[in-house]
Chains A and B, each alone.
Chain A
Amino acid sequence: MKLKLSIFALMMMFFLVACNPDSSEVDTGDEESSGETAEDDELVIANGSDMVTFDIHDHNNTSTEAIHVNLFNYLVKADGNGGFVGDLAEEWENIDERTWKFQLREGVTFHNGEEFTADDVKFTLERVANDDTLLEHGNYNQIAEVNVINDYELEIITENPEPALLNRLSRLGSGMLPSDYIDEEGWDTFLEEPVGTGPYQFTEWVKDDRVVLEPYEDYFGEAPKWNKVTFRSIPEDSTRVSELLTGGVDIAANIPPEDWERIEGDDAVKLADSPSQRVMMLVLRTAENEVTGDPKVREAIDLAIDNEAIVENLYNGAATPTRTRVTPGNNGANEDLYGQSNYDPERAIELLEEAGYGDGLEISFDAPSGRYLKDRETAELIQAMLSEVGITVDLQFNEWSTFTDKYSSRSFGEMFMIAYGNSMFDAALALDRLTQAQNEGETDYINDEVEQLLTEAESNMNQEERVKQYQKAQELIAEDRPHIYLFQMDSVYGLQENVDFEPRLDEMFYVDDLSKN
């Protein structure tokens, strides 16, 4: 009896394994030990979350865009140094303050064979500019209209002078859509079978599992490199790392510091990191009736915090101290303030004495918990560092939606911590919130010179002058400290040893820039 049942049980186990139609995926002992994934002409990338949609205008999810960039093309691409190179547009010029003229590349086809023309640009940009239910609408409603001159020429008219138009057109929401296909087949069909102009075309999307792409043979640029590209969604960090270690994936995104040792200890895999657009910072109230209204108190807070120590101890060095939010790679960056930290606890104590707080003072401090990597630990460390110089911090942790409620209603106390990204790669988005129109009830920051610089720069079509205005504004802000910038966070990837991949500041995966050897 017992024997019969155990035999039956064993048979069932064998059956389960033997039924596997692709046995190479089960018994890949030999291959895996050499750290290779399935095939050399296939690429598997693991993200921490699933792609959300193929509606390029209705998401603001970086890891979704990192997949989309292989299917769709923008008109122009950022060159990484504040300039732009053509993609679907060959040439462009600024005709007047509100008019931009674009000359399109000829002979570009969508994956369904349809030709790409100026009508598609009009369709794409006017959709997001006019439909206020789309998540990206707020970043495109500066576009008033798109005028088609002929199949390959068009003009974009903006509501106001818009120096950052190219920044907008080289990011999320600007992938060009096939207007005829969508008109004929309907939007729902497009969402199920998306069609773009990119080097790869859509094969399948198993939600919460994988997105598979295959090469598009008639791509206008260099021939696609991979026979098959799979983006997997593996939400659990330790599972994602295990997949990397077993060779199940070539690249795993978002590796938390706890798992670095596992990867560094294995010769078949390696870590790669790159600065990201996210900067952790403190926001302070500067109105005169607040304790933090005294510039000396704000300076003391800044000098009391040892950014280097936070970066080393909490982030294992995968972050860079900074005194500005406009970091290198962004238009208008002030590199003199980047990589800088001014830790000086003795001077901080002196400043507090000068400000009349020799006996100590108390401030409130709000921080999110669980929103950013190590946010809780960072806030606790800051609390401890401030107490060293005699500042008692009443630290309050907030779950993210409570945090954003307080953020929207501007009801934080003297100080709060937040990490902003910058998908526009332009100083305007990073500094807007310090203009008097936007800072009321939050920092209440008033510095007429900064105000003038920011307002002028926002619509200044002279790029060189505009950059200088932003750089000067950053210097003044770093002295006034309505924001105390802490550090720029890195994004960390795990790779197979044979994979060449330079992580990008914008966190995109342009798969043809990757290679295996």
Chain B
Amino acid sequence: MRYFLSSILKVIPVLLMISFIVFFLVRLTGDPVSLMLPETATDQQREDLRQSLGLNDPIYIQYFTYMADVIQGDFGESFRYNQPAIDIVLERLPASFTLAISSMIIATIIAVPAGIYSAIKRNTFADLIITGSSVLGKAMPNFWLGIMLILILAVQFSIFPVSGSGTIAHLVLPSITLGTAIAAEMTRLIRSSMLEVLGSEYIRTARSKGLRETIVVNKHALRNALIPVVTIMALQTATLIGGTLITETVFSWPGMGQLLVQAVNARDMAVVQAATFIIAILVILSNLTADLTYRFLDPRIKYED
């Protein structure tokens, strides 16, 4: 419990730092007024708008005003939508979660059998194919894979809808796109973890007892091999969120990733800040969860440090 509390406390300076960095970086990228008004706007119109948005105050004053509001849960208004930024971000979370979870399911469906199989058939042709594919899967850029999947499975064969949301069919292509890179990473992890476990004493014992190979692999080896995999996968949240930025844009999936891309393009500062804040919290939470899961799965790890 004390460990848990101290972890939570450590989050505060991290969030402060993130807010500081994001606040200044967003402002370094340029003036939002230039994007909000057309070319024909007069200098006076630009100046008036800058004034009404509070962009004329010195930047440190803007930062303190902003932080004072954030502490009260107010992340400011979106320039683009004229609505509280935090509401807009939270509204998109379910869509992004759905995509993230289904990508994880797809990644697991691919990676668990592939990882186990390549570990069992170590150094065979099948192993070579699987490890080769996982390097390829990791190396393929998301946007390229997404566009290829659209061209083949949606345009050529009309199996899935091209883009959008609303039905489960809409979820398939973006999930595969996002899931592939994770599956690749996961396959390699499972393979190496399985290899380690398969070489250990108790597996030899199990085998010498005359247990069938499937029982040895499924019951004795896999369970132990998955412990490091589960925790490391929880640390992949950041990769997953990074992937949603591109995947959601390619498939016009209405989640937080697309929102963030659009907000950056439109210099919608309040939304960029709120979204980054939420992402930071998600990443921190998942790291914390990974930590706790690891300790839970392997009771030998002590809590007092």
Does B113 lie within 8 Å of A207, measured CB to CB?
no
Q: Which of B31, B42, B52, B168 is the most central at the interface, judged by chain A CB atoms within 10 Å of its CB?
A: B168
Across-interface contacts of A208 in B (CB, < 8 A): 92, 252, 254, 258-259, 262
In contact, A400 and B162 (Cβ under 8 angstroms): no
Stretch of B80-88, B202-210, B282-290 with 4 or more beta carbons under 8 angstroms from chain A: B80-88
A99 to chain B, nearest CB (A): 26
A288 and B49 alpha carbons, distance in the complex (Å) = 35
**B192 part of interface (Cβ distance < 8 Å):** no
B267 CB to closest chain A CB, in angstroms?
Answer: 7
Q: How far is the CA of A8 from the CA of B36 in the complex (A)?
A: 51
Distance to closest chain B CB from A458 (angstroms): 14
Say yes or no: A242-B31 contact (C-beta < 8 A), given A52-B80, A138-B42, A233-B252.
no
Contacts of B88 in A (CB 8 A): 207
The answer to whether B168 and A242 have CB atoms under 8 Å apart is no
A1-B217, A53-B82, A138-B45 known; A405-B31 Cβ under 8 A: yes
Residues of A within 8 A of B254 (CB): 206-209
Give every chain B residue within 8 A of A26 (Cβ-Cβ).
159-161, 167, 169
B62 close to A (CB within 8 Å) = no
Task: Assess whether B281 is interfacial by the CB under 8 Å rule.
Answer: no
Known A-B contacts A21-B167, A235-B249; the reply to A418 vs B262 at CB < 8 A is no
**Do residues B45 and A235 form an inter-chain contact, with CB atoms below 8 A?**
no
Q: Which residue of A lies closest to B39 (CB)?
A: A420
A309 interface residue (CB < 8 Å to B): no
- Expressed in whole angstroms, the minimum distance between the Cβ of B185 and any Cβ of chain A is 18
A223 interface residue (CB < 8 Å to B): no
A248 contacts B161, C-beta separation under 8 Å: yes
| Contact indicator A25/B169 (Cβ below 8 Å) | yes
A132 at the interface (CB under 8 A from B): yes
Asked whether A55 lies within 8 Å of B113 as measured between CB atoms, the reply is no
User: Which A-chain residue is minimally distant from B257 (CB atoms)?
Assistant: A208
- Identify the interface centre among A49, A58, A232, A238: most chain B CB within 10 Å of its CB: A238
A408 touches B252 (CB 8 A): no
B82 to chain A, nearest CB (A): 5
User: In the complex, what distance in Å separates the CA atom of A56 from the CA atom of B261?
Assistant: 24
Instruction: Indicate if A236 sits at the interface (CB-CB under 8 A).
Output: yes
B113–A28 touching, CB < 8 Å: no
Contact with B along A19-34 (1 / 0, CB 8 A): 1111101111100110
A242 contact set on B, CB distance < 8 A = 150-151, 154-155, 162-163
B304 contacts A by Cβ under 8 Å: no
Instruction: Give CA–CA (A12, B172) in the complex, Å.
Output: 11
Indicate if B75 sits at the interface (CB-CB under 8 A). no
Q: Please tell me if B200 contacts chain A, counting CB pairs below 8 Å.
A: no
B interface secondary structure, majority = helix
Task: Check if B155 sits within 8 Å of A236, measured CB to CB.
Answer: no
A422 touches B105 (CB 8 A): no
Mask, A336-350, CB within 8 Å of B = 1, is: 000000000000000
Closest to B50 in A: A408
- Is A206 a contact of B168 with CB atoms below 8 Å? no
**Cβ of A404: which chain B residues have Cβ within 8 Å of it?**
31, 33-34
B250 part of interface (Cβ distance < 8 Å): yes
Given A55-B82, A248-B162, check contact A236 B252 (CB 8 Å): yes
Q: How far is the CA of A98 from the CA of B224 in the complex (A)?
A: 85
Interface residues on A, range: 35 or more
**Chain A positions 236-254 with a Cβ under 8 Å from a chain B Cβ:** 236, 238-239, 242-243, 245-246, 248
Contacting pair A239 B113 (CB below 8 A): no
* Contact indicator B164/A400 (Cβ below 8 Å): no
CA distance A21 to B235 in the complex (A): 34
CB of A135 closer than 8 Å to a CB of B: yes
Instruction: Digitize B60-102: 1 where CB-to-A-CB distance is under 8 Å, 0 elsewhere.
Output: 0000000000000000000011110000100110000000001
Q: A419 and B160 in contact (CB under 8 A), knowing A8-B109, A235-B249?
A: no
Are A132 and B52 in contact, with the CB atoms below 8 A? yes
- B138 on interface, CB distance cutoff 8 Å: no
For A50, the closest partner residue in chain B by CB is B262
Q: Does A160 contact B (CB under 8 A)?
A: no
- What is the distance, in angstroms, from A250's C-beta to the closest C-beta of chain B? 14
Beta-carbon contact of B82 and A405 below 8 Å: no
In the bound complex, CA of A133 to CA of B50 (Å): 10
A interface footprint on B33-51 (CB within 8 Å = 1, 0 otherwise)? 1111111111111101100
**C-beta contact mask, A89-110 vs B, less than 8 Å → 1, else 0?**
0000000000000000000000
How near does chain B come to A421, taking the closest CB pair, in angstroms? 6
A20 with B169, Cβ < 8 A, contacts A239-B252, A405-B34 known:
yes
Q: How far is the CA of A407 from the CA of B29 in the complex (A)?
A: 17
Q: Which residues of B contact A49 (CB under 8 A)?
A: 262
Does A234 lie at the interface of the complex (its beta carbon under 8 Å from any beta carbon of B)? yes
Interface check B23, CB cutoff 8 A: no
- A22: chain B residues at CB < 8 Å are 166-167
Across-interface contacts of A407 in B (CB, < 8 A): 39
Decide: A209 near B34, CB < 8 A? Known: A6-B113, A419-B39. Answer: no
CB of B214 within 8 A of chain A?
Answer: yes
The complex places the Cα of A23 from the Cα of B34 at a distance, in Å, of: 45
What are 14 inter-chain pairs, A to B, with CB distance below 8 A? A1-B217, A1-B218, A17-B168, A21-B167, A25-B166, A26-B167, A138-B48, A209-B254, A235-B262, A239-B251, A248-B161, A399-B30, A418-B39, A422-B40
* Interface contacts beyond A1-B214, A232-B164: sample of 20 additional A-B pairs, CB < 8 Å, sorted by A: A2-B117, A12-B109, A20-B169, A21-B168, A26-B160, A137-B48, A138-B48, A206-B165, A209-B252, A234-B164, A235-B261, A239-B251, A242-B162, A243-B163, A246-B155, A246-B158, A400-B34, A400-B35, A401-B30, A419-B39
Which residues of A come within 8 Å of B, CB atoms? Answer: 1-2, 5-6, 8-9, 12, 16-17, 19-23, 25-29, 32-33, 49-50, 52-53, 55, 58, 60, 132-133, 135, 137-138, 191, 206-210, 232-236, 238-239, 242-243, 245-246, 248, 399-405, 407-408, 418-423, 429, 433, 438
Q: 8 closest pairs, A vs B, by CB?
A: A401-B30, A404-B34, A209-B254, A5-B113, A26-B169, A138-B45, A20-B169, A208-B254
